[in-house]
Amino acid sequence: MKIKKKATIVRLKSAGLFKTTAFGLAISFLTAACAPTETPKETISENDFYTQRAALIAKYSKTDNVFSALRAQIAPSDPASHQYWQWRVDQYLYGQYPEYQQIYDGFKEGKKFENIYPLVKEDLGPKKTLPDALPKLPKGHFTENLPGNPHRGWQYLDGDTLYITYQGKLTDPYVASYNLVTQEWKGPFKVAESTLSKGDRKIDSHGRPIIEMDTQGYLHIVYGGHGGEREDGLNPLSIDTPHAGGRMLHVVSKKPYDISEFKYVDDITPFASYTKSYKMGNGDIYLFTRAGTHKSPWVYYKMPAGTKRFEKPVIITWPTPQSDEPINVDTFYINPLKISDTEIAISFLWHECNFLEIHDKETYARINAYYMRLDTTSGLFYNAQGENIDLPVTINVANDKMLAFNSTDKEETPFGTSPVILKSGQPAVAYEARTKAYREWRMAAFNNGQWQHSLPMPGTVNRTLKDEENKSISNILDLVVLGTPSGKHTAVTVYRDANGTTYFSTVESSNGTDWKVVNAHLALDNTRIQMEAIKDDAGLNIGVILNIKKGAAQRLYLWHDGEFQRPGQLASTGVDGATDATLFHESFENGGWNAASPRGFTPGLDNSLAKNFMFNQLQTDSAFSLEQSIVRSGDYSAKLYWKHKTPASYNGDPQKNR
């Protein structure tokens, strides 16, 4: 597929003065540009900058026809078009040829983005207006309404505590924890601020937060990225300019195992998009992300065990402009999966993008399926054949060494991929095959030295499902087997019947193939239900997280121990609509209490604590005690008792809070 060259549809405001370079582009600058706030170690004058820039473009244009392709997009009579394509050329030169970075950085010192590129405001909106009344969803959720969020959160299980992050109101990151044994919740808490969908910007699902715990118990959350912000300047890791908005940010908990407070860590690129992370057997954490927008490399960051910062990124793939049509760029979408304590498998597909930012059904191609794996003990990548793969991976290397399924001449078009863990240990890749007739997940597996494609997904061969009335169900959307089978298999499944009703049900099987519904928990019309398994340390599924969407209503649910689990202040049965329950927060997290003006009987009063309690008419030695089994938020609540003997002897005794 080739994209025809088109005149740019970008219309930008003209501002500032212009200076023509040997490249033929008009370079803008403002005579009133802000002076540097502090003297840089080495600045580059305006004339030197233009001279050196023009020389580099002339040098690389001899073998790189991207420059002429970008120049061809300029509308000669439109100064704003010159401004826009100057920015695009600068970013290409900055990312593709790092020697330009020092030159540009010296020139931009003390200047804001709009001083160099006075472009019109980005058009990243508007938000969709929510209806006055949302469609009814079942109670049992643990989130507020999440419009425009296709994800099922991200999770980390530490012992009996499950940590869940998700993209909440205005795409800010939220976190909650749930104890599998006591069924107690903490949170949800808002972790930090996102720049992704503020103001009039549309809700963007790319900022989904992920969570990992380091070896010291500190929780790390990375969130919010879809290309960065213009004011962040040029991206040193990409040939592509930001055009979707939203900084990727990293925060770490202030205390181990504590989700109530986080602080920022400046160690990852703000331009990144997409995130996945895994903690290996030795405690190292690997964060995978795309280092910018579409035409950007994929990288990984490593946080060594015992530290709280990521190291510099390792570039995995590199985008490649097509030699015959340089306006088009061959790049990838990757998806990593931890397959052992020392290995991460990576599946990916080929994405043909373009510098014109035309992303429609004809040009938004996602093609083929590829496979490689990272050995984290050595830092080396291998293909299915066991051959070492040098980085970065380009389209030619991928096609030659890692191609698992060539879809270019097939009816099936992969839209997403995922590594598959098979009992045999052989490499395998799942891909979402799309045709005019169906849309389903299929698999390519490496057998006897070669790849075989269009295989059924594991566990689906001859699989059957019957509902409570013994009617056969053909449209099984997902099925997760719970625990270890012991004669009888138990699972939860999402399926859709012939009438279009979507069900979430518990099912059982005696052989792991023929399933029967034993309890239909949800039956919803015109509703999408997505399900993701929660795995314990042994790899067994112990529950699921559901994303349930009906029109503009959308919430997350946790299914564990045979029912929906939800923070205590939220009812667990019935149906609700658009109103979220009010959150109440007690003030006993310091193991006691102190009032602004204590009076009456005051057992448990601790003057060393912050004044955080209003009502203090407490009596007797048992009038105040801490409670951990019934808690709305945080670690503690208080039990209050009323008696009428001689409580005054306990006044002000802080030990009476134990």
332 closest CA partner among 389, 403, 394 = 394
Contact present, 111 and 233 (Cβ < 8 Å) = no
Sign, CA dihedral 153-222-191-634, equals positive
The label of the residue with tokens 């373009």 reads 354
Instruction: Tell me which residue of 600, 584, 590 sits closest to 652, measured CA to CA.
Output: 600
Q: Has 274 been annotated as catalytic?
A: yes
Query: Is 294 among the residues known to form the active site?
Result: no
d(CA 149, CA 206): 9
3-state secondary structure at position 398: helix
| Residue 386 burial (10 A CB sphere; 0-12, 13-18, 19+) | exposed
Q: Is 577 helix (H, G, I), strand (E, B) or coil?
A: coil
Taking the C-alpha atoms of residue 504 and residue 522, their distance in angstroms, rounded to an integer, is 5
Residue 53 DSSP label: H
Token pair belonging to 640: 């209050």
∠ CA 396-402-404, nearest 5°, is 120
- SS3 assignment for 191-235: CCCCCCCCCCCCCCHHHCCEEEECCCCCEEEEECCECCCHHHCCC
Instruction: Decide if 512 contacts 485 (C-beta within 8 A).
Output: yes
State which amino acid sits at residue 6.
Answer: K
**Alpha-carbon torsion (408, 410, 415, 418), positive or negative:** negative
Side-chain-facing half-sphere of 429: CA atoms under 13 Å: 33
Tell me which of 92, 94, 156, 274 is the catalytic residue.
Answer: 274
Torsion from C-alpha of 248, 253, 257, 259, nearest 10 degrees: -80
Which two tokens mark 357?
Answer: 């930012």
Please report, for residues 452, 525, 584, the alpha-carbon distance to residue 581 in angstroms, rounded to integers and kept in the order given: 52, 25, 9
Considering 206, 226, 351, 489, which one is annotated as catalytic? 206
Residues 130, 127: Cα–Cα separation, whole Å: 9
Identify the CA nearest to 529 among candidates 556, 509, 506.
Answer: 556
3-class DSSP string for 263-292: EEECCCCCCCEEEEEEECCCCCEEEEEECC
CA atoms of 434 and 243, how far apart (whole Å): 28
- How far is CA 247 from each of CA 197, 226, 232, rounded to the nearest angstrom? 11, 7, 9
**CA distance linking residue 106 with residue 98, whole number of Å:** 13
Four-residue CA torsion sign, 263, 269, 272, 274: negative
**How many Å apart are CA 185 and CA 615, to the nearest integer?**
26
* CA pair distance 602, 433, nearest whole angstrom: 68
Determine the Cα–Cα distance for residues 417 and 332; give it in Å rounded to an integer. Answer: 11
Q: How far apart are CA 544 and CA 557, in angstroms?
A: 8
C-alpha distances (whole Å) from 223 to each of 229, 283, 316 are: 14, 21, 21
The tokens describing 227, both together, are 């290309």
List active site positions: 206, 274
